[in-house]
Structure 1
Amino acid sequence: MYTSNSKFKNSYHENDHTNTFIMSNNTTKHSEISHFSHKQHKLRFEYSEFPFKCDGCKELGIGSRYKCSSLCDFDLHMHCAIPSPSLFHPFYPKCSFLFLSRPPGDTPRYCNACEKPVNGFLYHCFQCGFDLHPCCAKLPMVLDDGEVKLCLCRKVSSACHRCGQKGRSWSYRSACKRYSLHVACVREMVVESWHESYVNGEKLRESGVPYGVKSVVKSGCKGNKGSKVKKCCEVAGLAVQVVVSAVLGDPTALIAGIMGSLLSRG
């Protein structure tokens, strides 16, 4: 079991419409599994700081993964390796999402959370036609440290700190309403940052919170010295690390504590 050093810890209930990122981590990781998508070899659990492309959902990942035990270039996110057969999401109360190994039909499909293409594993509602990447489907609905809450919103009225737009995709918004960030924008920042950090699998600079993510959060807090605003920014920073972690497939706070310490020093 992996336990975060952050004060925010994960508790996700598949069929509970009030999943909250708080208090406990009950995720069980098996050391070795068999998987239908790679029948020839076992997959072993490992943790790596190097980026990888998930062979299930075809999206970027980092941190916890299942990798081929026979050294094939085959990797799966935790959510893709051990998916829930079905799940419900509070944004779509009439939908029942089923896990599929590939998108249905022949037309291009897009994730309703991040609006990016769906090219592999997904959760699909046959009744409504909605699609979710496995990692997007498992984004925590609420971040709560007992003082400040941040909520995952389907739409927000405030502009995203990254792109300056209000629409586009799901966002995390702080209770102080000074901070919001699209899930899609976090994904873009992560991809851009790690493309700059790694060339042909070689690390060019230290891994950690992507520089673009740091810059966006710091700019949102610049000039605000009040204790309440500072607290809000600290928690917003933790929200970003959770979004980054969840989007990349490791919602147990992959980048735990780094953003909090960064903002507390600012």
Structure 2
Amino acid sequence: MGLGFGPCYECEHEACGFYLHEECANAAPSTSHPFSKCSLKFHYNAPQGDERYCDACGEDVSGFVYQCSHKHPHDYHPRCLKLPRTLTAGDGLILQLRKELPSKCLRCGSRKTSNRIQGWCYVSSPDRYCYHIACVKEMILEKWRKDYFTPDGNVNDENNLALQTFSESREIALPGGRSSSKATQIWRKAATVIMVIISALFGEPSALISVLVQYWLSS
């Protein structure tokens, strides 16, 4: 997943700055995924040598990668292949991981990522809330650069309130552009959807539980 969060191995020399996700360290020589009809082969680096992007999250591939056997292969970060197929966002709201967007992403307003990759997404049922994996990762990285998160994916205690404010901000679009009296309720549910997806991307579903609890108690 490129620059990422969650369980990882770290070089014992602090100045080295080398991290390795568990999924990358334990990557099998080959694997499969329901979204790919082909067997996926593991490579330490993409054999093509050119600039490549993960077909799941849209980020560049700069190291370990799985590829299909096509002439123009698809690329996947090892960790992206481990994303949960189903997430529960509370109040009976179920999010499904999908290969293609049924509607425009509520953050970027497009069906493709900034790299023109289709990209996977999480979609609620019914299809009210739809977000690119790439867009949610971009939101995470923006906050990571401001020290909202620690490298292991936890939330800094002093940034809990700031993160809650972020989840309610205009970075999250309202389904259908609604602005009625129900807007606040819709904002809260959209914020919860985003938080649950962030938790899945961290690879540790419990990482943001404390934030979610405080968020709902303060609402």
TM-score by length of 1: 0.61
Kindly report structure 1 stretches of 4+ aligned residues shifted beyond 6 Å.
none
Q: Does 1:125 align with 2:68?
A: yes
Distance 2:68 2:195 in 1: 29
Q: 1:188 aligns with which of 125, 130, 138?
A: 138
Q: Which amino acid aligns with 1:132?
A: Y
Q: 1:87 aligns with which of 31, 51, 55?
A: 31
1:171-193 Cα offsets, whole Å, 9 max, x none, are 11111322111111111111112
Give 2:19's aligned residue. Answer: 75
Select between 95-104 and 255-264 the one with higher mean Cα deviation: 255-264
Residue 139 of structure 1 deviates from its aligned partner by 1.1
Q: 1:206 to 1:261 in 2, by over 3 A?
A: closer
Q: 1:213 to 1:101 in 2, by over 3 A?
A: farther
Give 2:47's aligned residue. Answer: 104
Q: Does 1:142 align with 2:86?
A: yes
Give 2:207's aligned residue. Answer: 254
Question: Relative to total residues, which structure has the larger strand share, 1 or 2?
Answer: 1
Q: 1:162 to 1:205 in 2, by over 3 A?
A: farther
Q: Which amino acid aligns with 1:153?
A: R
Give 1:53's aligned residue. Answer: none
Give 2:116's aligned residue. Answer: none
1:112-151 Cα offsets, whole Å, 9 max, x none, are 1122211111111123611111221111111247933211
Q: 1:258 to 1:149 in 2, by over 3 A?
A: same
Give 2:103's aligned residue. Answer: 158
Residue 257 of structure 1 deviates from its aligned partner by 4.7
Q: Given that residues 186 and 213 in structure 1 are in contact (C-alpha distance below 8 angstroms), is that contact kept between their aligned partners in structure 2?
A: no
Residue 161 of structure 1 deviates from its aligned partner by 1.9
Q: 1:70 to 1:195 in 2, by over 3 A?
A: closer
Q: 2:7 aligns with which of 50, 60, 64?
A: 64
Q: Which amino acid aligns with 2:54?
A: C
Distance 2:214 2:174 in 1: 16
Give 2:197's aligned residue. Answer: 243
1:150-206 Cα offsets, whole Å, 9 max, x none, are 1111222322221122333211111132211111111111111221237xx9x9983
Instruction: Give aligned pairs, total.
Output: 200
Residue 106 of structure 1 deviates from its aligned partner by 2.1
Distance 2:218 2:124 in 1: 20
Q: Does 1:167 align with 2:112?
A: yes
Distance 1:134 1:254 in 2: 21
Q: 1:224 to 1:87 in 2, by over 3 A?
A: farther
Select between 96-105 and 255-264 the one with higher mean Cα deviation: 255-264
Distance 1:182 1:237 in 2: 15
Distance 2:172 2:204 in 1: 19
Q: Which amino acid aligns with 2:35?
A: F
Paired residue secondary structure (1:83): coil
Q: Does 1:206 align with 2:150?
A: no
Q: Supply the RMSD in Å over aligned alpha carbons.
A: 3.5
Q: 1:262 to 1:137 in 2, by over 3 A?
A: same
Q: 1:185 to 1:260 in 2, by over 3 A?
A: farther
Q: 1:61 to 1:156 in 2, by over 3 A?
A: closer
1:229-250 Cα offsets, whole Å, 9 max, x none, are 76x964x5454334324434x2
Distance 2:214 2:111 in 1: 29
Question: Relative to total residues, which structure has the larger helix share, 1 or 2?
Answer: 2
